[in-house]
Structure 1
Amino acid sequence: MRRDLPYALSGLTLGVLLFANAVIAPDAAPVRVVDVALIVVMAAAVAVCRRYPVVALIAVTAAMLGLHLRVHAGVAAAFPVLGAVYVAAWRGHRLVTALASVVFLGGFLARDISVAPAGRPGQQIVERSALLLGWFVAANVAGLVARQRRAYLEQVEQRAVEAERTREEMALRRAGEERLRIARDLHDSLTHSISVIKVQAGIALHLARKHGEEPSATLLAIQEASSAAMRELRSTLDVLRSPSAADCVGLARVDELAERTRAAGVPVQVTVTGERRDLPAEVDQAGYRVVQEALTNVARHAGPATARITVEYAPATLTVSVIDDGQASSVRPVTPGVGLRGMRERVTGLGGVLNAAARDDGGFAVRATFPLDGPA
């Protein structure tokens, strides 16, 4: 409706001008009720000519031709027809616009000739007919040019969309190729190395049991860690090869992390507060990875220590923390390594906040807070 408002205002303005011209023109006949009705029909047709260009053009042409035949409104009667011709040509109805132009010009000229003095039509009729002919040709041509311009702009826009889609497809293809390359490199290097570790640990366990000895906890932890590493590496390779595959890790598997860390000789306590609920997949995976990396750092750097994992579910946030009582001290600041940088990138990439620092009373604390209702 808002797009039709300019047409409605144009029809109303043309109606007022035609009525005023018919009233004050010296050679016009008296305006009657039928003439007013013709002006109203014209205004209504102009108001809807955007949606119904052919019907509006026929109605405007008939109404203005009838008004001119009855009142002799003059050139002013051609203005609404010119506008309707332009709109219809712009919408692609070339044959209808040409016929309407010919009909109106023929009727207009016939009316002028019929009321002209006997003998010759007169120079004024010739000049007015030539002027109207030029206007109608211009209206038809302008409508066709506007249509061609619109078609050209739509084509340019479509080409831009196609080019953008092509660029996106190329980028996705290159990303897919890069993922496959990384997957191959990981498979060829890490998979082999971890498999060797797992096999050697298994052989050591077998030999220990064969000689009647109880396998050490460290050896059992090595075998369990290598098996877990193989499982996670295969999962990572599946994700790299198939981006749509979901990563199976999440906070539901924190107990497994704690158990593996205990097997490595680090006592771990797990505390969950709040009501467990479904989390966004990215947040769930990032929380798991933060706990995993923090426990890895405890096992590698904390020395003899215990660790405490806390998972806090709040209405708008999720907080995971890993605190140990190891060798770290606030007097000797910890230099962030690749693991801490990776944790920070994971957390901040989801709009969260990561705090990782040595504690005043000894040990190290990692605390990550994720927003669950939008960026923090």
Structure 2
Amino acid sequence: MRRAARVRDRGGMHLRAAAVPAALVTVGLVTLPLIDRYSAVDRPVDGLAATLVVTVAAMPALRRRWPAPALLAAASGASAYLIIGYPYGPILLPVAICVYAVARGRNPRRAAVWAVPALILLLGHVLVGGAGPGVAGLIPGTAWVIVPFTLGAARRLVVEAQQRERAEAERRIVDAERLRLAQEVHDVVGHGLAAIQMQADIALHLRATRPAMAHEALAAISAASAEALDELRVTLAAITPGDRAPAAGLARVGDLCERVRTAGVAVDLAVEGEPHPLPAAADLAAYRVVQEALTNVVKHSPHPRARVAIHHRPRGVDLRITNQTWDTAHADGFGITGMRRRVEHLGGCFAAGPAPGVFTVTATIPRELP
């Protein structure tokens, strides 16, 4: 089927390519007697004039494959037609089309290398006779080259600008997707590794004095690593075709808090309001904010205790994660920057920073996405 489609497309292209020369030949031959009837100073048209009209009109058929030779051949034929003394007419249209094709398909400098000789050939009849000397004889022939050349070059510039804009838009999309995936992997892997590190420290500290508790810590490490791998598979499944596992959301915040508790951090979870379904992007963003905030508690807070408050409202959901700290120095890292980017991208509000004795992360995520 694909081969048949390619054959049909190729056939359609050949028909379109042949339509222009066929139309030019028809127009040239039909108008040639009319031009001869109303021309009193030029040589009467004959079989040679018709032959030149057909030959020049056929040149645009080669404009896609051999644009420069087609232009020179068309200009030579039209110049011979005018030098002989035949009247001006549609024979100049093929020359204009070939000039346009050269300017459209090549950069301006390379196109000018071919357009200038074509212009000189076309103006040869001014020196030999036919149009008469002086500026009056130069203007018609020059216009048939300069005008299509300008149009072709302008069209090329427009197409190149569109291609650059399209490439830039695609690059921005790729960069945004790369950043999104980096943030997802950071949140998933960072949370799992933070829990694993804390449990590993506990196991190392208690392996000699309390082997049973060390064994519990190792079991927690195994569970945390398995959960992190499962969530990483879910994240990676979002960029691969086929069936996709359900993404994380606020419905899984209870499980998240339980995992953090097993890592040694006491977590108080408070949910207010009537839960309403959130759009998938908002639901995932809310979960990631809670996850990253608790991960920071595990990694950085000297006080292993945190409070998570979720307030469901008709127009959105409010999140507030606090933990006790005495460190007032703060600089946004990749995690907080990622949380802020997630929330603000959805049209919400985000804030994170220390206050006397506590560190607070707040986020408001609307239900109606921008």
Which structure has more RCO (C-alpha within 8 Å, separation ≥ 6)?
2
TM-score, normalised by the number of residues in structure 2: 0.48
Greater gyration radius: 1
